[in-house]
Amino acid sequence: MSAHLPAGLRLTASDRPGVAQPVPERDIPSQPWGRILIVAVLLAAVLLALWEVRWRAYGSEPAYRNSDGLWAIQRRRIDEGEGGKTVIVGSSRMLFDVDLDTWERLSGERPIQLALEGTSAAFALDDLADDPQFTGKLIIGVAPELFFTGFGYRRSAFTHYHHEGPGQRIGQWLSMTLIEPLFGFYDEDFALGTVLRRQDWPLRPGDKAHRDVRKLSVSEADRNTRMWRKVETDPEYRELARQIWAQKFGPPEPAMVARLKDALPKELARVAKAVAKLRARGVEMVFVRAPSVDQYLDFEHRAFPRETTWAPLLAMTGVRGIHFEDEPTLQGYELPEWSHLAAHERPRFTEALYRLMHLPAASPPPASSPNA
Amino acid sequence: MVFNSLSFVAFFAIVLALHALPITWTARKRNLLVASYLFYAAWNPPFVILLWISTVVDWYAAQKLVRAERQAARRAWMLLSVIANLGMLGYFKYGGFLLDNFAALMNVAGVAYQAPKLDIVLPVGISFYTFATMSYTLDIYLKRAKPADNFLDYALFVTFFPHLVAGPIMRPTELVPQFATERRASADQLRFGLALMTLGLFQKVVLADSFLGKTAESVFDGKTAPGAIDAWFGTLAFSGQIFCDFAGYSTTAIGAAMCLGFAMPDNFRFPYAAIGFSDFWRRWHITLSSWLRDYVYIPLGGNRHGELRTYLSLMGTMLIGGLWHGANWTFVVWGGLHGVYLAVERMLRSRFAHCRPGPLALFGFAMLTWTLVNITWVFFRASTFGKAWDVLGGMFGAHPDAKLLLGTFDLLSVGVITAGILFAHWQLRERTLEALVARTPPLLLATVWGLMAFAIVISQGTGSAFIYFQF
């Protein structure tokens, strides 16, 4: 395994078999490194400033990144003495629609926001069911296409929380202190790879156009989250957000139908198991089906009829459910992209939800609703 | 903590400041040692204990070994070190794998045995620091090195944060002497070190993570088997990703050490321009391949005991090299295939010893090497043999009606980056990076440096781990 070394190359351990390896020698190329460094730093700073200006002009504003680290901070509150509080789990509707300020004003207690976009509440239920420190109240968002399929776009948040090391915590703190409150460009949607990937590249023959969900929300440090203003004010962007949802509104492929059929009983059993564990600890729970409208609601009615999803859920778990179609106070809101409330609607919705939750519990609604 | 994280930026700034303090050299070395333990503890503090065990056992074994007069005693102390290190590695890295295979073997033999589920967390970098500490006792046993003069220098050799978790795998003779005399980076060392760190992070954050990694994931972690174009581009994406990820780490590590005034060895020498597999292994993960050569291949007999023994040693070394990368038979197959390539190359070289191929033939051999290296990466990346066969089948036309997994942008970015890597490797095949930099106009260097720094920031890497941490 000995080697012949071409001229001009630095020797490495490859060239010295079976001997003690000497102290490496590294040459510094002869260049005016001081001036080079200054120009490089200036260039990077100017480009970065232009990049920030470009994204501010697009409508971005500094906000806390809805990262796994941010979620873990809220999740840790349960470990740090707040296990008796109200916790919100679910997906983006519970995340965007519930206003923590309003809830705090009404109840005197700020809830812990653990809803994760694109993710079934079942993951959080499993996690909290296994945590004896959690004994509080649980508001469980049910977004049918996620909840009844067990979809988990943000499952990584749970792994992150359970395995987060001190280095990651420090990094999260530094990011929330030095970067996130200052820069509008620091958002997953504006990352270089994402921006390039989302250009209108020509399609490969036989390929179907598919667009990922775009930025829809803005978060505060405790994950109090609202719809991004651009979705409400920019008709073109709002239409894009709607068209992205509309990609899934067509007739489902047979394989997808089979998968859904297979997933439903499993997910119901999974949730029932977690609910039983939580109930045994005295945790109060309520399922909430937040509003959706127009084409999105039509899709949900077609693909996830209440009588085969929501009704069995309540029957199997014995947990109270609040469905927006049953409650006049949860209807009539503005949902710019059919799935989430406009930011200004959050206080009214939150207050209505709070009041409904604090009414005496009624028996579960009938399996078929007039609106379904 | 990972190099591509904000916590490392803060950590490194503090380390640089402490290293510049007007205090004694011993105090600065202590600072580096404490900083290195903090660097490691940032993942999982209890695992620092493993690092201490490895450090203390090898220090003690080496002290005893050097004082022992009888060969049997020397061997016993050397074996203690090897067993302690490999035992720790075996438990944490291969415990579950061994138990699963034992259960499978029992079931084949008709014994109903179900292995208990071991929930063992792999300490980051354990494969790297156990190899580094073993080289300390082995070099002393082989009388290639003297023990360190003091425990501080030795502990710092094991723990020095730039190389601790993913190499380059340092030998004691490379690093311990550097701690003997005071080291402080010159202004140009600091600046060039920062430039190297920028280059390394650009490779990792921008090329590997932002562009190549996602494409490789779509193909290797997808639920369906890929068609030919997707399979090839997914494999090329991984080929580029693993190079940019690991060479990026090594370059960042070399730069970080340089900023502190220390020199670390090259770990990569533009491997995708290799002509033949022995050339490839002199260019790819040099510190591991030379470690395996010096402490496995040569002790197994090397090429000193006839042809058959040489081939067996070669094969054994490459199989161990494969297993070193991960507790999965796919890694063993990856190592085994490289062993076969090396053996065939050796056979052909001896049969055609007088043949002097021209430049075109050499280029053809290089392309053949690169192609086989890429095909073999499939076993390295695929988590199961089923997935490996899916991808290999796709590459050779077994799934003509497969669903498209990659978009135009994926193909374009993989094509451009792969071409760029190949071009750069061929340009630098017989040169060092430093030689190229020395001949580049300063304004161009500053522009490239600034653009790389800008691209790193706007790529918004979220501190994803380097691939080799899992090994």
User: Could you say which of B144, B413, B454 has the minimum Cβ distance to residue A20?
Assistant: B144
Would you kindly state where each structural domain of chain A is located, as residue ranges?
A: 78-154+214-357
Q: Mutation target for B interface from A4, A16, A31, A43: give the one with most B CBs within 10 A.
A: A31
**B458: distance to nearest CA of chain A, Å?**
6
pLDDT bucket at A91, cuts 50 / 70 / 90: very high
pLDDT at B125: 87
Q: What is the pLDDT of chain A when averaged over all its residues? A: 91
Q: Which residues of B touch A25 (CB under 8 A)?
A: 263
**B109: distance to nearest CA of chain A, Å?**
36
On the question of pLDDT at B305 being above 60, the answer is yes
pLDDT bucket at A273, cuts 50 / 70 / 90: very high
- Predicted confidence (pLDDT) per residue in B61-104, tens digit: 999 999 998 999 999 999 999 999 999 999 988 888 888 888 88
pLDDT at B467: 65
Closest Cα partner for B397 from B225, B228, B230?
Answer: B228
Whether B265 and A21 lie within 8 Å, measured CB to CB? yes
**ipTM (interface predicted TM):** 0.89
Mean pLDDT of B292-312: 90
- Long-range contacts from B21-29, C-beta under 8 angstroms, 24+ separation: B25/B181, B25/B182, B26/B152, B28/B182, B29/B152, B29/B153, B29/B156, B29/B179
Closest Cα partner for B283 from B127, B381, B430, B437?
Answer: B430
Closest Cα partner for B457 from B214, B195, B198, B211?
Answer: B198
Active-site residue, selected from the candidate residues B163, B285, B325, B425: B325
Q: What is the pLDDT of chain B when averaged over all its residues? A: 93
Q: What angle do CA B218, B222, B224 make, to 5 degrees?
A: 125
B325 is an active site residue: yes
Does the N-terminal peptide bond of residue A347 adopt cis geometry, omega within 30 degrees of 0? Answer: no
pLDDT bucket at A73, cuts 50 / 70 / 90: very high
pLDDT at A53: 97
**B284: distance to nearest CA of chain A, Å?**
10
Q: What is the 3-state secondary structure (H, E, C) of B93-112?
A: HHHHHHHHHHHHHHHHCCCC
Whether A26 and B434 lie within 8 Å, measured CB to CB? yes
Closest Cα partner for A292 from A349, A239, A250?
Answer: A349
Q: Residues, chain A, total?
A: 372
pLDDT at B471: 61
pLDDT at A5: 47
pLDDT at A360: 66
Nearest CA in chain A to B43: A165
pLDDT at B12: 97
Please report, for residues A187, B209, B242, B400, B421, the alpha-carbon distance to residue B428 in angstroms, rounded to integers and kept in the order given.
37, 24, 19, 38, 10
- Predicted confidence (pLDDT) per residue in B104-150, tens digit: 888 888 888 887 777 777 888 898 999 999 999 999 999 999 999 99
Task: Say what percent of chain B tops pLDDT 90.
Answer: 79
Mean pLDDT of A202-219: 91
pLDDT bucket at A144, cuts 50 / 70 / 90: very high
Q: Which residues of A touch B286 (CB under 8 A)?
A: 12-14
User: Could you say which of B8, B435, B449 has the minimum Cβ distance to residue A36?
Assistant: B449
On the question of pLDDT at A286 being above 90, the answer is yes
Question: Which DSSP string do the residues of B147-200 spell out, in sequence order?
Answer: PPSSHHHHHHHHH-HHHHTT-----HHHHHHHHHS-----HHHHHHHHHHHHHH
Whether A192 and B455 lie within 8 Å, measured CB to CB? yes
- Of A25-34, A228-237, B299-308, B344-353, which gets the smallest average pLDDT? B299-308
Q: Which residues of B touch A7 (CB under 8 A)?
A: 430
DSSP secondary structure code for residue A370 in this structure: T
**Dihedral over alpha carbons A12, A15, A21, A26 (to 10 degrees):** -20
pLDDT at B462: 66
Nearest CA in chain A to B169: A13
Mean pLDDT of A214-235: 96
Mean pLDDT of B208-217: 94
Nearest CA in chain A to B179: A23
Would you kindly state where each structural domain of chain B is located, as residue ranges?
A: 21-183, 189-470
Whether B303 and A1 lie within 8 Å, measured CB to CB? yes
Q: Which residues of B touch A185 (CB under 8 A)?
A: 458
Whether A13 and B287 lie within 8 Å, measured CB to CB? yes
Fold classification of A78-154+214-357 is Rossmann fold (3.40.50)
3-state secondary structure at position B274 = coil
pLDDT at B468: 64
pLDDT at A8: 57
Residue A256 vs residue B448, higher pLDDT: B448
User: Could you say which of A12, A36, A51 has the minimum Cβ distance to residue B286?
Assistant: A12
**B84: distance to nearest CA of chain A, Å?**
23
pLDDT at A372: 32
User: Tokens 């296409």, residue?
Assistant: A145
